[in-house]
Amino acid sequence: MIKSSSLFVAVVIFFLAATSVASASQPSVYRVTDYGARADPKTDSTSALSDAWRKACSDPRPSVVYVPHGRFHVRNLGFEGPCRSKDILVRIDGTLVAPSDYSVIGNAKNWILFHDVDGVRISGGILDGQGTGLWSCKLDGRKDCPTGAMNLHIANSKNVEIDGLTSINSQKFHIAVTGCQNVNLRDITVAALGTSPNTDGIHIEKSTLVSVLNSTISTGDDCISMGPGARNVWIERVACGPGHGISIGSLGWKFQEPGVQNVTVKRVHFTLHRDD
């Protein structure tokens, strides 16, 4: 009887321990719809996404910020770190849509910004910058056009993964990586008209250990551009075009600035850009 009791206690302890470990390994999930986001054109979901991010960022456990299917309209978004956890997934199954009035975000540098984060993964979804109105303004030669906002900017961050993301119709650059270390982009799709001005697909500057893999970029400017301080960049299996190719440019604006070093480009397919 004593042995049976001891065995029962041991089984219970093992079960409780296993349950505790399994529970501890489950990430916290913060659904933006729980914070007021709605997939309709009349709802501004900016605050809902910001609130979900703040909850995830303050959680010491692995966390997920989840955007479900649907079109969610948002203004400028800033996802600020540092966060307590170095394991945060931003999972987008729907589409984030910028304001159709380009002046709302056009004077900001960024539409969506991740700043000072470590260990963040952005997966899936579509970013629709609705930049066609601003392109027309610039192509018409008007002097009152705002500079435009980038769809996605990763700044002063490290250990960032971006996969399965689609960026369309950005007002300016689609994706920018600046002041970062160890940023990996894969299975990225960028799409904008071949006549869209200054819509670089991916811009890398003052960053090291950046890779772009298995991606398709069609835009009106550089598919991938590298500015001062881009180091240890790996580009492989990328389809580029229409666009201006892969460029190392915008250098020499300052008398002293960091150079570009150790850039590898492999198995890239270029489609010629035609203006006719």
CATH code, domain carrying 105: 2.160.20.10
Structural domain including 226 reads 78-249+260-270
Of 174, 244, 269, 273, the catalytic one is: 244
Is pLDDT above 90 for 29?
Answer: yes
Separation between Cα atoms, residue 50 and residue 249, nearest integer Å: 35
Question: What integer is the mean pLDDT of 222-247?
Answer: 94
* pLDDT score at 244: 86
* pLDDT score at 251: 53
pLDDT tens for each residue of 37-68: 999 999 999 999 999 999 999 999 999 999 99
* pLDDT score at 122: 99
* pLDDT score at 257: 74
Instruction: State the pTM of this model.
Output: 0.89
Residue 192 in domain? yes
Question: What integer is the mean pLDDT of 83-106?
Answer: 98
Question: What integer is the mean pLDDT of 208-226?
Answer: 96
Cα torsion angle, 50, 55, 61, 63, sign: negative
Confidence of residue 276 (pLDDT cuts 50, 70, 90): very low
Identify whether 258 is preceded by a cis peptide bond (ω within 30 of 0): no
Residue 53 in domain? no
Question: For the ranges 51-60, 120-129, 140-149, 256-265, which has the lowest average pLDDT?
Answer: 256-265
For residue 161, the surrounding DSSP H or E stretch is strand 158-163
Question: Which of these, 227, 228, 218, 164, lies nearest to 196 by C-alpha position?
Answer: 218
Count structural domains, the chain. 1
244 is catalytic: yes
Residue 255 in domain? no
